[in-house]
Amino acid sequence: MASKVFVPSRPWQEALEEFLGALRSSGYLTKLPEEEIEVTRALGRVTAAPVYAAISSPHYPAAAMDGIAVRAEITFGAGEQKPLELALGREAVVVDTGDPLPEGTDAVIMVEEVTFQDKTTAVIRRPAVPGQNVRPVGEDITAGEMLVPAHYILSPYDLGGLLAAGVTRVKVRPRPGVAILPTGTELVPPNPNPAPGEILESNGAMLAALVGQWGGTPEVYPITPDDYQLLKERLDRALGEKDLVLINAGSSAGREDYTARLVEEMGHLLTHGVATKPGKPVILGIVRDKPVIGVPGYPVSAALCAELFVKPVLYYRQGSNPPARAQVRAVLSRKIHSPLGREEFVRVRLEREGDRLIATPTSRGAATIMALARADGIVVVPRLSEGFPAGQEVMVYLLRPVPPAP
């Protein structure tokens, strides 16, 4: 038994760049799979290719109002003092909004400006101009035009636009399958009566929810006790079934060595530990050309590791860029002291005070998940800073919408 000092000094940005670079080299982030699905089921999916309009919208000249369709030139003399009678069915045709313009007509006079004298005659008191109240072919969409580019996340409005253009199926990136492997002999499924030493396995559901928000399809595997061979078998199976494997390392600080050793044995270990607080014992590796991420056991560390490493991998694997979190300026209500050499992610509550936002740091323990759940945002203290004084203006990454102005 020998003591082991483990103080990672690697900036997380450098670790992420190397990881993504290796995943690009292996083809994992460059040769992306695709699938074709119904447009009606494509909300939030990323396009694998540009999408072009099959037809124009409208695809025929259409009445833009309820009224009568006419050939404009026969109305040119009409006026308040010179009402013009039009023979219904021959010189004027009653149309509803959206109806195709009848052959030979080029304008629509809205119903409010028409007097129907009897069943055969309409009277107007103003001339029409050609094209009036008519939606020309392709007013919104022209057949063959690009509706959306590749690498684009489809919104509800896009679904409407694609369908209006006659596009019913679309090529998109599959949602990456993500295996989440909770490991640790001390872990038990959540229940209200654990024995001392038993730790409730709560990270699996949290990581699954985050993965789902980032476009992945999560599956939480059964808890794996501390058994090297069993963990190896589970990892092997997960690599066969999924695109990305997260090994959640239980609570012991020694546990991740286990995961690191396994990744090293089966593939390529890139990073073991980054200089962040919380979250340092993260593991980044590649096994059989697929990413394997060792996620720390403390819940706040696990959440941060997911944000820093899992989120970008999932977005890039779908051919998209990870969206940046919104930021706001706020003033610190009290000082933050932070260790030199580690980038610290400090959870804060936000309150409005006049037209300023005040940020107050909350509990900074890596295990205090409810403090994270209750936080409004994150203040980042750079690696080479010892913190900020009270009253300092800082940028806050938002975890939820900012409190509204009174």
Residues 44-63 that bind a second copy (CB under 8 A): 54-55, 57-60
**What would the x/- binding string for a second copy be over residues 326 to 345, using CB under 8 A?**
x-------------------
Interface with a second copy (CB under 8 A), residue total 97
**What would the x/- binding string for a second copy be over residues 60 to 99, using CB under 8 A?**
x---xxx-----------------------------xxxx
With contact defined as beta carbons under 8 Å apart, do 276 and 305 qualify? no
163, 266, 331, 358: which one binds a second copy (CB under 8 A): 163
Q: Which is nearer to a second copy, 27 or 44 (CB)?
A: 44
Residue 98 Cβ vs a second copy, minimum distance, rounded to whole Å: 3
Residue 317 Cβ vs a second copy, minimum distance, rounded to whole Å: 19
State whether residue 117 is helix, strand or coil. strand
Burial of 339 (C-beta count, 10 Å sphere; 0-12/13-18/19+): middle
Residue 333 Cβ vs a second copy, minimum distance, rounded to whole Å: 22
Q: Which of residues 22-41 bind a second copy (CB under 8 A)?
A: 39-40
Closest among 115, 73, 68, 109 to 90, alpha carbons compared? 68
What burial letters (b/e) apply to 322-331, b meaning 16+ CB within 10 Å? eeeeeeeebe
Residue 166 Cβ vs a second copy, minimum distance, rounded to whole Å: 4
Which tokens sit at 374?
């209750």
Q: Which is nearer to a second copy, 250 or 291 (CB)?
A: 250
Q: Which of residues 120-149 bind a second copy (CB under 8 A)?
A: 135, 139-141, 147-148
Round the CA-based radius of gyration of the chain to a whole number and report it. 31
199 binds a second copy (CB under 8 A): yes
77, 192, 354, 406: which one binds a second copy (CB under 8 A): 192
Q: Which is nearer to a second copy, 23 or 305 (CB)?
A: 305
Closest among 137, 132, 131, 165 to 60, alpha carbons compared? 137
State whether residue 56 is helix, strand or coil. coil
252, 333, 362, 392: which one binds a second copy (CB under 8 A): 252
Q: Which helix (H) or strand (E) element contains residue 179?
A: strand 177-182
Burial of 5 (C-beta count, 10 Å sphere; 0-12/13-18/19+): exposed
Q: Which of residues 365-384 bind a second copy (CB under 8 A)?
A: 365, 367-373
Q: Which is nearer to a second copy, 166 or 339 (CB)?
A: 166
E strands along 15-127, which residues?
35-38, 51-52, 62-63, 67-70, 84-87, 93-95, 107-110, 114-118, 121-124
C-alpha–C-alpha distance, residues 375 and 278, integer Å: 15
312 binds a second copy (CB under 8 A): no
395 binds a second copy (CB under 8 A): no
- Binding part of the chain for a second copy, among 19-27, 113-121, 174-182, 234-242 by CB under 8 A, reads 113-121
β 114-118/35-38 pair status: unpaired
Q: Which is nearer to a second copy, 7 or 31 (CB)?
A: 7
